[in-house]
Amino acid sequence: MPKHGKKYREAIKLVDEEKLYQVAEAIPLLRKLNYVTFDPTVELHMQLGVDPRHADQMVRGTAGLPAGTGKSVKVLVFAQAEKANEAEQAGADFVGLDDMIKQINEGWLGFDVAIATPDAMQKVATLGRRLGPRGLMPNPKTGTVTFDIARAVREVKAGRVEFRVDRTSLIHIPIGKLSFTDEQLTQNLTAALDAIQRAKPAGAKGQYIKSIVLCSTMSPSVRLDIQPTMALRTA
């Protein structure tokens, strides 16, 4: 495994690895840990007490971040006629159906989120091998297969993020940029935690949330105290 650089090694000295931090402590600490010259993304990582190999323990959904993601999201909409016009008016970056499918089959992937109307999915389904592994396939479970195209486009543009537990029972969600205020990051964190709690599957047994960690791009991680952090949802 590659060794961490000098700046990382200096930064990690500021973290008490035995301590579980409060959110009000963790966010300012992330600023002290940052050593990159760009505006890094703040990431939420959670270990869940589920076994994603079982269908009734899969955790998947979306979270609307009140302060946005800090990133310009390029949205592709698969739609025709009136729904295509709705998508364009709502601010979609790319709109079409057969022409968009052709471009993707030729190797184009210049978008971050794909949305489709239900009647377009028969054709869009042919892109499963190209879009599925990249997490770009429209899916009704994440609200990206819908006739309410305008609303879906606006929500994605405003800061809706998708999450899905991986095979190691971890969830990873970007919750904004380090340049956001403490209040904005706390609001986004709270929204993400609420969405993950609401996505708790019926098959989950025992402790659902096993660990909560914050970090920014390339920085050391800061472990949060689970109980008070989850209490933010009802504060």
Helix (H, G, I), strand (E, B) or coil at 115: strand
User: Are 216 and 41 within 8 A, CB to CB?
Assistant: yes
Whether residue 22 lies inside any domain: the answer is yes
Which tens digits make up the pLDDT trace of 64-121?
Answer: 999 999 988 999 999 999 999 999 999 999 999 999 999 999 999 999 999 999 999 9
Whether residue 128 lies inside any domain: the answer is yes
Whether residue 1 lies inside any domain: the answer is no
- Strand (E) positions, 5-74? 41-48, 60-64
Q: Which of 132, 156, 180 is the last residue of a domain?
A: 156
**What is the CATH classification number for the domain harbouring 135?**
3.40.50.790
How many domains is the chain partitioned into structurally? 2
| 165, 64: one domain | yes
Domain ranges, residue 184:
12-69+160-234
Once rounded to an integer, what is the mean pLDDT over residues 216-228?
95
- What percent of the chain is predicted at pLDDT more than 90? 85
- pLDDT of 2 reads 56
Whether residue 5 lies inside any domain: the answer is no
CA distances from 185 to 22, 39, 68, 182 (A): 14, 14, 10, 5
Residue 41 reports pLDDT greater than 50:
yes
User: Which residues, at least 6 apart from 153, have a Cβ–Cβ distance to it below 8 Å?
Assistant: 75, 77, 87, 90, 91, 92, 115
DSSP symbol at 73: P
**What is the CATH classification number for the domain harbouring 23?**
3.30.190.20
